């Protein structure tokens, strides 16, 4: 997945924050107006949206002479994909997952446990429902990928 520059991220934040999933999207002018504190030229915003479309980050549809833009995926799906991409950077994926799991707060750990239980079909009483767990931690495909079983046990992986 493509990492975003500062301006691209600001434009995506506008889209994620203001475009409901059922919406037809927003125009370049609407995005430019939402970025009013940045004092950007209309053509700059148009170029950024065009590049984001080329990267597959936004979908666009012609409306007369203008385009309407909407995010191709949710913010959560984008972040989940970035996390998965980071795991693929090299080294021990298992060790990285264990270190990450040990670094989250208690509430975040509860969300992860619930999501994994829901994915396994073992939703625990008092935990988030499967749909809530999926939206909290699902990837672009809507599924939480399990660690690859290619290395030693997780505890051994972190000792290296």
The pLDDT tens digits of the residues spanning 63-122 come to 899 899 999 999 999 999 998 888 888 788 888 888 888 898 889 989 988 988 898 886
Long-range contacts, stretch 40-44, CB < 8 angstroms, 24+ apart: 40/7, 44/7
Would you call 91 helix, strand, or coil by DSSP?
Answer: coil
Residue 70 bridge partners (DSSP): 59
Percentages of the chain per state (helix, strand, coil), in multiples of 5: 55, 10, 40
Angle between helices 93-103 and 75-87 (to 10 degrees): 130
Residues 119 and 133: beta-carbon distance below 8 Å: yes
Give the pLDDT score at 20.
76
Residue ranges of domains in the chain, CATH in brackets: 6-71 (1.10.10.10), 75-158 (no CATH)
Residues 66 and 72: beta-carbon distance below 8 Å: no
Q: Sorting pLDDT into bands at 50, 70 and 90, what band is 21?
A: low
Place of tokens 């600001």: 10
pLDDT of 15 above 60: yes
Q: Sorting pLDDT into bands at 50, 70 and 90, what band is 23?
A: confident
Rounded to 5°, the CA angle 140-83-47 comes to 70
pTM value is 0.66
What DSSP designation does 26 have? B
Chain-centroid distance, C-alpha 79? 3
Angle between helices 130-137 and 75-87 (to 10 degrees): 60
What DSSP designation does 70 have? E
pLDDT of 143 above 70: no
């Amino acid at each position: 997945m493509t990492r975003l520059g500062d301006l691209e991220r600001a434009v995506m934040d506008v889209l994620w924050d203001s475009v409901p999933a059922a919406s037809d999207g927003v125009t370049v002018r609407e995005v430019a107006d939402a970025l009013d504190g940045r004092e950007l030229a209309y053509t700059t915003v148009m170029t950024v949206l065009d590049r984001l479309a080329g990267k597959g980050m936004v979908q666009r549809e012609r409306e007369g002479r203008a385009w309407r833009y909407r995010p191709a995926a949710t913010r959560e799906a984008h972040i989940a994909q970035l996390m998965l991409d980071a795991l693929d950077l090299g080294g021990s994926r298992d060790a990285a997952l264990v270190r990450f799991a040990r670094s989250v707060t208690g509430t975040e750990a509860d969300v992860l446990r619930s999501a994994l239980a829901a994915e396994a079909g073992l939703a625990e009483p008092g935990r988030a429902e499967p749909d809530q767990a999926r939206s909290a931690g699902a990837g672009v495909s809507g599924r939480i990928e399990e660690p690859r079983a290619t290395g030693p046990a997780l505890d051994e992986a972190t000792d290296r």
